[in-house]
Structure 1
Amino acid sequence: MIVSSLSQQDVEHLREETPGVGQVIHFNNAGTGLAPSPVLDAVKRHLDLEARIGGYEAADAAGAELDAFYTGLAALIGSKPHEIAYVENATRAWDMAFYGIDFKEGDRIVTGRAEYVSNYVAFLQMKRRKGIEIDIVEDDESGQIDLKGVKAAITAKTRLIALTHVPTFSGLINPAEEVGEIARSAKLLYLLDACQSAGQIPLNIGDIGCHMLSGTGRKYLRGPRGTGFLYVSDDVLDQLDPPFVDLQAANWIDETSYELVPHARRFETWERYVAGQIGLGVAVGYAIGFGMERIGDRICSLGAHLRSELSGLAGISLHDKGKRKGGIVTFTLDGETPEKTKARLSASGINVSVSGAGSARIDLPHRGLDAVVRASLHAFNTEAEIEEFVKAIGSFR
């Protein structure tokens, strides 16, 4: 049985307010596209308002809802509202922080094998542009980033520790808090990619100790696609120079000068998906309403339950790693490509994803894998859906 702090009534409520639930079994991308009804209603309501009175006027009328995004995100991660920026997606949010660092030739970045593809190619671009060096820390015996290795990798030239909290291709939850302690002791900038962890597990900036954190609206937070956010600590705000600015980010003083706004909104752009920002604010409030501790407990419990069930099937290889695991479950079937497994599950009314080596060049090939099937569970999933999923996988054997 699932040990969960969400009651059966809570789960039923989540399912009732998720229009796509019940048509197929959604183990795909943490519920991407499965926004709860209050989020859908908020987005549609604002789009209807834009159609009636115009985009500028609708944005002016939605001031309180737009502000709620900042206060909600701050409450979700334990920051201050002015330390939050609204950005169009998690990758661009991460980019605004990373490319805002004034790297010099010879500077070094410490990262791990779980780093996301978009982040790592940015490292490579900065290496080509500025001559920085990338230090990859190996996993420890459990599969998480080796904390002793992180300490050993730090030199006088180290400028940044960059960590993906939860990779897309494993159930791993990296020890972000312990890495934060190392960064704090070494007085280094610390950038955390929380794309898969925001909405999946509780986040607290004070405990994590990162200076910058990026996230998306469309995955575990169940907000609209085309939405994301960036946290930048007051402590490092003036150490970063936004890679590009506009009238949202800066005040134009005269013909020869400008000044950046005195908060994290210097990383925003003025033109934005206003309905999406409102919807993401509602999604954050929705998650907080159920309680992130409770949601996180259920998601992790569901993940553990699915792993346990799959481990009992012949011909199944599980590929999750780390001391702490979440709601993403990765596996392969002997003699069958992950793409074929995905197609057969889809034919059975079950949605999953495939993570390939193209998005994990320093992880999956290192483990002798080309690709894995990825099942991403959310709090609205049930034991019955897991049983049906396992039954379908078993029938393939």
Structure 2
Amino acid sequence: MNSTYDIKRARQETLACKDLIHFNNAGASLMPTPVSRALHEYLNKEERIGGYETEALYKESLNGIYKSAAKLLNCSPDEIAFVENATRAWDMAFYSFKFNPGDKILTTFAEYGSNVVAYLQQAKRFGVEIVFVPNDEFGQIDVNALSNLIDDKVKLISITHIPTGGGLVNPAKAVGKVANAAGIPYILDSCQSVGQMPIDVEDIGCDILCITGRKFLRGPRGTGLLYVRSSLLPHLEPPMLDQHAAELISPSEFLIRPDSKRFENWEQYCAGKFALGVAIDYAMSWGLHEIQQRVYSLADHFRAKLSTIDGIHSTDEGIEKCGIITFTAEQLNPAAIKQALSALKINISTSKGSGSLVSFQDRGIKEVVRASVHYFNTDEEIDYFVDTLKKVLAR
């Protein structure tokens, strides 16, 4: 593990570390004090001087999120939209595509459930064919199989980078090479990857990418970002527009704005937007490569310790595994494990149902325990977790 990492500062700036162990960063991480302070500062100002007035006062900082996000993703600020959550960001981009009967969407078995619902809705509306690309021997998307599925009917490649129900990291860059070579638009759902690893949209080759604020970026809930490559913008008309996304120029005409803000609404969660900008800058101050190194090291330690417990079965797939650790136990179901650990002030989650339905049904899994680490966590917390889990399972 990176011995130069300032874990003392990381934990001092994460107040809940004094009171509990938080291994639910893939659900919602803990806001660090600079982010929480920014959120409260903005809300307190709104309370004292009014919403419009506060927005005007913070105009420069609110606009600064586009520059920060662009630096985070290696793109232009004009390619970034602030949206109320990642699902809405993804929806606004996906529903901008115009499909015809017989068109194909290529996706993965590990695709997020909400995305699959959207694919199926468009399949019912327009006769689109949804193709789940086979996995390779490691459980990640088979890039060779993806290449072999490319034909003139494929109109979109859309995958989840890291699934909600496992530690798998899909080979997003390799998928990008296939998509780019074929000239097919490529959507990457990166809700679980941005904030725990470096993400470079130019290197990956994705045309669209969605982000949530609340997970590994450690921002507030109700915040999200959407990246759309500038060359694709003229071909996408959002499914909903207002006077922010488009200009009404006559009683019978409107003009859609040329940048990615066409996917935004005028009314926004300004306090959350301000705090999310602080969260992005905060993450970059630690360094995304350094964050990834620490998170992966913690996760490796976590999996190694779990492997010493009888009856535990890891359910993580992929060659590369991230900071999400999933498993089942022969002795107790995931919901009961979560409840028992919660009573002892250890936060974890479970994953089941629609979130990972396609993958889970294919693998014969109903529900898993999900523990997810971040850079403020420690080996000592992991050791305590494992010792505690052993006692819970032995009851």
For residues 58-97 of structure 1, what are the structure 2 equivalents within 5 Å? Answer: 58-97=54-93
Is the CA contact (8 Å cut-off) linking 2:114 and 2:354 kept in structure 1?
no
Match of 2:209 in 1: 213
Listed one character per residue, the Cα deviations across residues 135-161 of structure 1 (whole Å, up to 9, x for unaligned) are 001111011111111112222100000
Aligned partners of 2:323, 2:49: CA distance in 1, in Å? 43
Is the CA contact (8 Å cut-off) linking 1:39 and 1:283 kept in structure 2?
yes
Listed one character per residue, the Cα deviations across residues 364-388 of structure 1 (whole Å, up to 9, x for unaligned) are 1211110000001000000000000
TM-aligned CA deviation for residue 166 of structure 1: 0.5
TM-aligned CA deviation for residue 71 of structure 1: 0.6
Is the CA contact (8 Å cut-off) linking 1:18 and 1:37 kept in structure 2?
yes
Match of 2:112 in 1: 116
* Segment drifting more, 225-234 vs 335-344: 335-344
Q: Secondary structure at the match of 2:124?
A: helix
1:300 is aligned with what amino acid? Y
Query: Among 25, 28, 40, which residue is 1:29 paired with?
Result: 25
Aligned partners of 1:299, 1:81: CA distance in 2, in Å? 28
Q: Secondary structure at the match of 2:15?
A: coil
Aligned partners of 1:30, 1:13: CA distance in 2, in Å? 22
TM-aligned CA deviation for residue 30 of structure 1: 3.4
Listed one character per residue, the Cα deviations across residues 68-104 of structure 1 (whole Å, up to 9, x for unaligned) are 1111111111111110000000000000110011111
Aligned partners of 2:153, 2:112: CA distance in 1, in Å? 23
Q: Which runs of 4+ in 1 moved over 3 A?
A: none
Match of 1:235 in 2: 231
Query: Among 152, 156, 159, which residue is 1:156 paired with?
Result: 152
2:69 is aligned with what amino acid? L
Residues 207, 42 of structure 1: CA spacing in aligned structure 2 closer, same or farther, 3 A cutoff?
same
Match of 1:261 in 2: 257
Q: Secondary structure at the match of 1:225?
A: coil
TM-aligned CA deviation for residue 275 of structure 1: 0.3
Listed one character per residue, the Cα deviations across residues 246-291 of structure 1 (whole Å, up to 9, x for unaligned) are 0110011101101111100000000010000000000000000010
Query: Among 380, 387, 397, which residue is 2:383 paired with?
Result: 387
Listed one character per residue, the Cα deviations across residues 174-225 of structure 1 (whole Å, up to 9, x for unaligned) are 0000000000011000000000001011100111000000010000000000
Query: Among 172, 177, 182, which residue is 2:173 paired with?
Result: 177
TM-aligned CA deviation for residue 335 of structure 1: 3.4
Aligned partners of 1:30, 1:321: CA distance in 2, in Å? 16
Match of 1:283 in 2: 279
Aligned partners of 1:347, 1:111: CA distance in 2, in Å? 39
Is the CA contact (8 Å cut-off) linking 1:89 and 1:217 kept in structure 2?
yes
Is the CA contact (8 Å cut-off) linking 1:184 and 1:209 kept in structure 2?
yes
Match of 1:355 in 2: 351
Query: Among 244, 249, 252, which residue is 2:245 paired with?
Result: 249
Aligned partners of 1:50, 1:17: CA distance in 2, in Å? 25
TM-aligned CA deviation for residue 107 of structure 1: 0.8
Is the CA contact (8 Å cut-off) linking 2:26 and 2:164 kept in structure 1?
no
1:40 maps to 2:16:
no
Is the CA contact (8 Å cut-off) linking 1:87 and 1:228 kept in structure 2?
yes
What TM-score comes out, normalization by structure 2 length?
A: 0.98
1:7 maps to 2:4:
yes
Query: Among 270, 277, 288, which residue is 1:292 paired with?
Result: 288
What TM-score comes out, normalization by structure 1 length?
A: 0.97
Q: How large is the Cα RMSD of the aligned pairs?
A: 1.0
Unmatched segments (≥5 aa) in structure 1: none
1:259 is aligned with what amino acid? L
Is the CA contact (8 Å cut-off) linking 1:213 and 1:231 kept in structure 2?
yes
2:153 is aligned with what amino acid? K
The count of aligned residue pairs is 393
Match of 2:97 in 1: 101
Q: Secondary structure at the match of 1:21?
A: helix
Is the CA contact (8 Å cut-off) linking 1:30 and 1:378 kept in structure 2?
no
TM-aligned CA deviation for residue 31 of structure 1: 6.9
Match of 2:122 in 1: 126
Aligned partners of 2:272, 2:105: CA distance in 1, in Å? 33
1:7 is aligned with what amino acid? T
TM-aligned CA deviation for residue 43 of structure 1: 0.9
2:326 is aligned with what amino acid? T
Q: Secondary structure at the match of 1:313?
A: coil
Match of 2:325 in 1: 329
2:131 is aligned with what amino acid? D
Aligned partners of 2:389, 2:349: CA distance in 1, in Å? 15
Aligned partners of 2:341, 2:211: CA distance in 1, in Å? 29
Query: Among 121, 132, 136, which residue is 2:132 paired with?
Result: 136
Is the CA contact (8 Å cut-off) linking 1:250 and 1:260 kept in structure 2?
yes
Q: Secondary structure at the match of 1:50?
A: helix
Aligned partners of 2:29, 2:187: CA distance in 1, in Å? 27
Query: Among 185, 188, 193, which residue is 1:189 paired with?
Result: 185
1:93 is aligned with what amino acid? A
TM-aligned CA deviation for residue 33 of structure 1: 5.1
